[in-house]
């Protein structure tokens, strides 16, 4: 759910990472609906995906022994480190100055996996799908999936859900890389992996998407329709959306 709070002359837009990535990557009309408090019923895909994530977490705890990561190791970019699955929370806070309004967007989330290898900070996100073969011909993940991992990649990190500035981890690195794993929901194994080092183009894509998200949230910009009936038919908000095709 997207929350709007105004303090003096600043408007705060508070949301989950998935609220942002799903609306800008799938349908912009999800922004006003979320602000109104409209929630979709959990789909079978979401339920099964959540179950698969939980099973992966349990498996790692039972079969993988990870050494505790120290503050000194976190700051040393030459030291390879790996955190336990879903053990790191993210917060991305970014301000925007519009002609008539100052807006601060704050997005929070929990990362599937984060590590540093040879100085490269890597954020990994797993998507458990029923038919991974549908990704055979794709050379890039879906826009919403890409926005999600890019947001995680450029966030502040903490082991606490409600972190203070002093709780953020200083994850030193030489470069950033996102990794999206398409996993078979039945076997739980990766079927296809998309991965790229972050470049100026992807960073610009993230920033412009965040700016548009902020502008729509504070009613400075009208949502743009995707004009795709198949998207509307698959949307969990189709029964309450007046803009459904």
* Residue 63 scores a pLDDT above 50: no
Helices (H), the chain: 17-25, 30-35, 44-63, 71-75, 143-153, 200-217, 229-234
The residue among 2 and 73 whose pLDDT is bigger is 2
Edge-to-edge strand ranges of the sheet holding 113-117: 81-82, 113-117, 120-129, 175-184, 190-197
For residue 222, give the nearest of 77, 29, 78, 25 by alpha carbon.
29
Element (H, E) at 92: strand 88-98
SS3 sequence, 191-245? EEEEEEECCHHHHHHHHHHHHHHHHHHCCCCCCCCCCCHHHHHHCCCCCCCCCCC
Domains of the chain with CATH codes: 3-234 (3.90.320)
Q: Compute the distance between CA of residue 14 and CA of residue 220 in angstroms, rounded to an integer.
A: 17
Residues 195-224 pLDDT 10s: 999 999 999 999 999 999 999 999 999 999
When pLDDT is cut at 50, 70 and 90, the band that residue 68 belongs to is: low
Residues 13-43 pLDDT 10s: 999 999 999 999 999 999 999 999 888 765 5
Handedness of CA 161, 19, 180, 187 (dihedral sign): positive
The pLDDT, as a whole number, for residue 35 is: 93
Beta bridge partners of 180: 125, 194
When pLDDT is cut at 50, 70 and 90, the band that residue 78 belongs to is: confident
The pLDDT, as a whole number, for residue 66 is: 57
Contact 210, 20 (CB under 8 A): yes
The residue among 53 and 104 whose pLDDT is bigger is 104
* Residue 85 scores a pLDDT above 90: no
CB proximity list for 89: less than 8 A, separation 6 or greater: 108, 109, 110, 111, 157, 158, 159, 160, 161, 163
When pLDDT is cut at 50, 70 and 90, the band that residue 155 belongs to is: very high
């Amino acid at each position: 759910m997207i929350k709007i709070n105004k303090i003096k002359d600043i408007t705060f837009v508070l949301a989950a990472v998935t609220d942002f990535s799903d609306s800008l990557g799938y349908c912009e009309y999800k922004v006003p609906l979320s602000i109104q408090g409209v929630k979709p019923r959990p789909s079978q895909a979401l339920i099964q995906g959540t179950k698969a994530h939980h099973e992966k977490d349990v498996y790692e705890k039972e079969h993988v022994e990870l050494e505790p990561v120290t503050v000194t190791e976190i700051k040393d970019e030459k030291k390879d480190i790996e955190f336990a699955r879903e053990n790191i929370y993210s917060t991305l806070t970014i301000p925007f100055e519009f002609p008539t309004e100052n807006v601060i967007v704050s997005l929070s989330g929990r990362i599937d996996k984060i590590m540093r290898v040879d100085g490269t900070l890597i954020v990994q996100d797993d998507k458990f799908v029923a038919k991974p073969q549908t990704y055979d011909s794709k050379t890039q993940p879906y826009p919403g999936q890409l926005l999600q991992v890019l947001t995680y990649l450029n966030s502040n990190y903490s082991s606490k859900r409600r972190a203070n500035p002093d709780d953020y981890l200083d994850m030193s690195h030489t470069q950033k890389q996102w990794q999206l794993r398409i996993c078979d929901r039945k076997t739980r194994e990766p079927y296809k992996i998309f991965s790229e080092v972050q470049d100026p183009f992807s960073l610009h894509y993230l920033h412009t998407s965040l700016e548009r998200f902020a502008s729509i949230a504070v009613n400075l910009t009208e949502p743009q329709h995707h004009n795709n009936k198949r998207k509307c038919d698959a949307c969990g908000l189709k029964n309450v959306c007046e803009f459904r095709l």
